[in-house]
A and B are shown apart, each in its own frame.
Chain A
Amino acid sequence: MSIQVRNIRKTFGDFVALDDVSLDFPTGELVALLGPSGCGKTTLLRIIAGLEQAESGQVLLDGDDASGTHVRERQVGFVFQHYALFRHMSVFDNVAFGMRMKPRGQRPSERQIRDKVHELLDLVQLDWLADRFPAQLSGGQRQRIALARALAVEPRVLLLDEPFGALDAKVRKELRRWLRKLHDELHITSIFVTHDQEEALEVADRVVLMDRGHVEQIGTPEEVYRQPATPFVYGFLGSVNFFHGRVEDNALRVGDDVLPSAQQEFDAGSEVIAFARPHELDLLADAHANTGVAARVTRILAFGVTARIELDGLNGASGQHFEVELTQQRVAELNLAEGQAVRLIPSHLKVFERNGITGATA
């Protein structure tokens, strides 16, 4: 089933949680709503489920306006961050709950319920836990039971609110691979909320980036990572270095320093902000070169496959910190030492106009 939201607006007192948000979720896709806390992603998910009421705007389920449809008739499956399993019921009863609550006419027989519950527990690979109580399960097991419970009512869409947020790093990683596999088997339209960019990029077919009640960018993980549309997206997906500067002919002036960069999009003299990922920066050992931004090496972390160099800006970029990723070979070539003054040269720069965006990147 497809989901569309149209011009959704929601405020809590003076705080605008969602400001005129419109989105399309195509049938059968697994979409991630990604953003920092307070960006409105959970609120949007709860509005789609019907657990929260939007002030204006519409939610269309399969093209029909769902505003007048009660939560229990929307046929959505909802998975909560803290599982929300019924603590006084066994795993079996938890999963059977949705079927047992159906009106008498539509309710399956106890035998059908039993078969269905075991089928679902098999699906989440936890059939052997049917008689346990939630308190006796680990976090990862609880969340899988919660998912089985949500699937028991054969929902048309699956909504997951930070489903792995309360789990430790290892279990998280395991579960997210497992969720992807499950989605590939079931092909149910799913939306999951997360603030973990790695999780979103790894699991989702499509990522919706949100910030402060607005949608910043929509695209495949590849698209949003390779071609960030806004400074916010650039900064949110992975580590980033940035330079405040002014456009000159074939160069970017950062304070007293100059970065070589051919800019066609911007007129000479416009104030811009330029981004570079750590691996897109190189160092010049000659601190007196007439190109590059002056910086001082503060730390060299050389234990990985690549080495990470941390630097403090000098001159034009003083007070700023930079992070550069170099091959071990390059570090040996440069013969770097902590405290050494160097120059930063970007191999690639993504430039945005500075007007009105300073807040988003500061």
Chain B
Amino acid sequence: MAGATTLNWAGAMQADAAVRFESREATREAPWVKWTILGISLTFFAVFLLLPLVAVFIEALRKGWGTYGSALVHEDALWAIKLTLTAAVIAVPLNLVFGVCAAWAIAKFEFRGKHFLITLIDLPFSVSPVIAGLIYVLIFGAQGWLGPWLADHDIRIIFAVPGIVLATVFVTFPFVARELIPLMQAQGREEEEAAIVLGANGWQTFWYVTLPNIKWGLLYGVILCNARAMGEFGAVSVVSGHIRGQTNTLPLHVEILYNEYQFAAAFAVASLLALLALVTLAIKTWVEHRAGGGNRSREAHQDAAS
């Protein structure tokens, strides 16, 4: 396979270059510089990343596996898990569709207000999650714009599941679109044009040409989106009302337990979230590896073309 050999060769080249750079007197840094930089980064990594992660699991298991298990199978904890998963299951597919549509529109078409749309997509990243939550309270809350109308029709959004889902959708909106826009822009429109000239309709073009080209980027965006959907605290906290067994997501449940001095239980639930994060990271790394391989073979393809 020509692609694979090019790939390995490129990888070997890079490793080779690094080794050569290090082994030569003329290009080598003084040992103390090298070890200082390595030391700083490793210390930082250990103190700020590894230590808290380990602490979560140690604290969670401080009172033994029994307490740990019972904290996780407690009725309120199970409900929180269910609610968190529900919010993610609704928010992620919605943002998948929104994200693909937005990225498609921005990357493949010229229209008025395009820059405005690009800026708007980033809004959930730039605004504080608390404000995101407050926006929904102001719109749907009892004193909000639509509050009286909703109350008349007996629809509950704030301090109920719909509010949590809305807040989650809002804060996780940019992930998929942000991931896809540069990818789609780099790929250009030629393959789609080729498909249309060959007689494919819009749906066929998307399904057989566009989607296969963006699938790894899309999956990567979805994973990040999912991680954030399950971990979101600020915005959800504002709209949830913290009703146990009704509107408590996992992060909110951790906070409540902690405030009630049930440290072991709080850390047990927190360890569950940490575990989810680790699994997400593992999948993300795998996807990145796959997508990166794709990118590199594309580069090789372009090199060969020029």
Q: Could you list which residues of chain A lie within 8 angstroms of chain B, going by C-beta atoms?
A: 49, 51, 71-73, 76-78, 80, 82-88, 97-98, 101-102, 133-136, 138-139, 142, 146, 149-150, 152-153, 166
Contact = CB atoms under 8 A, between A and B. Distances in A.
A138 B197 contact: no
Contacts of B213: 87-88
B22 interface: no
B304 A97 contact: no
A82 B193 CA distance: 12
Interface in B220-235: none
Contact of B304 (A87, A138, A152): A138
Given A51-B197, A86-B191, A86-B195, 12 more contacts: A82-B190, A83-B305, A84-B193, A87-B213, A88-B213, A97-B195, A98-B199, A135-B2, A135-B297, A138-B304, A146-B194, A166-B306
Contacts of A102: 199
A73 B297 CA distance: 34
Nearest to A97: B198
A100 to B, nearest CB: 8
B190 A84 contact: yes
A101 B193 contact: no
B201 A72 contact: yes
A139 to B, nearest CB: 5
Interface centre among A84, A85, A153, by most chain B C-beta atoms within 10 angstroms, is A84
Interface in B185-237: 190-191, 193-201, 204, 208-209, 212-213
A86 B298 CA distance: 12
B78 interface: no
A76 B194 CA distance: 11
A135 B196 CA distance: 22
Given A86-B191, A88-B212, A136 B198 contact: no
Given A84-B190, A97-B208, A136-B1, A71 B305 contact: no
A80 B190 contact: yes
Given A97-B208, A139-B304, A166-B305, A49 B3 contact: no
Nearest to A138: B304
Give me the 5 closest cross-chain CB pairs, A-B, nearest first.
Answer: A98-B198, A84-B190, A135-B301, A84-B194, A101-B200
B213 to A, nearest CB: 6
Contacts of B1: 136
B305 A139 contact: yes
B192 to A, nearest CB: 9
B interface, by DSSP: helix, strand, loop or mixed? helix
B191 A84 contact: yes
Nearest to B204: A101
B135 interface: no
B300 interface: yes
Contacts of B300: 135
Contacts of A139: 304-305
Contacts of B212: 86, 88
Given A80-B190, A97-B208, A49 B304 contact: no
A135 B199 contact: no
6 contacts: A72-B198, A84-B190, A85-B194, A136-B1, A136-B2, A150-B198
- Which of A76, A87, A102, A139: most chain B CB closer than 10 A? A87
Interface in B264-306: 297-298, 300-301, 304-306
Nearest to B209: A86
Nearest to B299: A135
A169 to B, nearest CB: 14
Contacts of B195: 86, 97, 101
B305 A49 contact: no
B305 A51 contact: no
Contacts of A71: 196-197
Given A87-B213, A135-B301, A136-B2, A101 B198 contact: yes
A135 B1 CA distance: 10
Contacts of A134: 301
A166 to B, nearest CB: 6
Contact of A149 (B196, B198, B297, B305): B198
A152 B1 CA distance: 27
A51 B301 contact: no
A72 B198 CA distance: 6
Contacts of B304: 135, 138-139
Given A133-B3, A136-B2, A49 B197 contact: yes
A85 B191 CA distance: 7
Most chain A beta-carbon contacts within 10 A, residue among B194, B198, B209, B212: B198
Nearest to A155: B197
A51 B198 contact: no
A73 B199 CA distance: 7
Contacts of A133: 3
Nearest to A76: B197
Interface string B1-26: 11100000000000000000000000
A42 to B, nearest CB: 13
B99 to A, nearest CB: 21
Contacts of B200: 72, 97, 101
A148 to B, nearest CB: 12
| Residue of B194, B212, B213, B300 ringed by the most chain A CB atoms within 10 A | B194
Given A135-B297, A136-B2, A51 B209 contact: no
Contacts of A82: 190, 305
Nearest to A134: B301
